[in-house]
Amino acid sequence: MKLLRYGQPGAEKPGLLDASGRVRDLSGVVPDIAGEALSPDSLSKLAKLDPESLPRVEGIPQQDLRLGACVGNIGKYVCIGLNYADHAEEAGMPIPEEPIIFNKWTSAVVGPNDDIQVPRGSVKTDWEIELGVVIGAPGTYIDEADAMNHVAGFCVINDVSERDFQLNRAGTWDKGKGCDTFGPTGPWLVTQDEITDINNLDMWLDVDGERMQTGSTATLVFKVPHLVSYCSQFMSLQPGDVISTGTPPGVGMGQKPPRYLHGGEIVTLGIAGLGEQKSLVRPAIT
């Protein structure tokens, strides 16, 4: 299934994408694509529905029908740093011996086609395409062999980052990761049954039509089961939590010379089988 949330910001409704690419309303079945609606039992019930029996929503998703973030009421937005060896190389940093964890504030979360706002004082706003993992079953100290049983599905994430805030303004990376609009998420949450091999998905990102990032989940340093297990050693994972698994090379910071977003650019990105995003970057408000 491809689960989604549609409608105006703050008033999104749950839906699913049918075989023709149209949205079917799930409001009569679940209150939101969030929390317990992502549990294994709930997903099993949703999978048994006939999409044709659900009301069809007017409009074409990502054209004249706005999509919100594919997960509502996200509890934790956990990010993994330097999880592609070639990205670590372009950043001039060693490959980590264990996953680097940082956080993206949930107030950063927006829809897959919403605008990205350059924050006030920014000089190094950057892009990062990432595979998102959505938790469906709660757990702590999860065994790696059981980790995928805790995963509801996957999505596309743009881990927008302000590098000066992140690296030069003291403290942790979080400062440059959680600005408002820095978390475009979606367009849809794709359940595991639709993905043949999560470790072999092509991914890409363009800025104004120019290809900047080309990668594959095949080169993840720490794979999804390990990340789920590892994160659960430091926090309980709850339904609707999101883990953003790192980015391949090609970020603005790694360009020669570095290249950043200042406003007016169009950022387009996608992962095979998980959909695409397209966002307009708005200049900082002075």
Q: How far apart are CA 116 and CA 181, in angstroms?
A: 5
Show Cβ contacts of residue 151 under 8 Å, excluding neighbours closer than 6 positions. Answer: 133, 134, 135, 136, 192, 224, 228
Q: Mean pLDDT throughout 47-63?
A: 97
Q: For Cα atoms 7, 12, 15, give the angle at the middle one, nearest 5 degrees.
A: 85
Chain segment 132-176, per-residue pLDDT in tens: 999 999 999 999 999 999 999 999 999 999 999 999 998 889 999
Domains of the chain, by residue range, sit at 72-282
Least confident of 1-5, 92-96, 159-163: 92-96
Chain segment 98-135, per-residue pLDDT in tens: 999 999 999 999 999 999 999 999 999 999 999 999 99
The percentage of residues in the chain with a pLDDT greater than 90, rounded to a whole number, is 93
Q: Which CATH architecture has domain 72-282?
A: Alpha-Beta Complex (3.90)
Q: Mean pLDDT throughout 55-60?
A: 98
Closest C-alpha to 162, from 123, 125, 130, 117: 125
Q: How far apart are CA 240 and CA 34, in angstroms?
A: 5
At 93 the pLDDT is 79
Q: Is the dihedral of CA 135, 49, 69, 32 positive or negative?
A: negative
At 95 the pLDDT is 86
Chain segment 18-50, per-residue pLDDT in tens: 999 999 999 999 999 999 999 999 999 999 999
268 — pLDDT class (breaks 50, 70, 90): very high
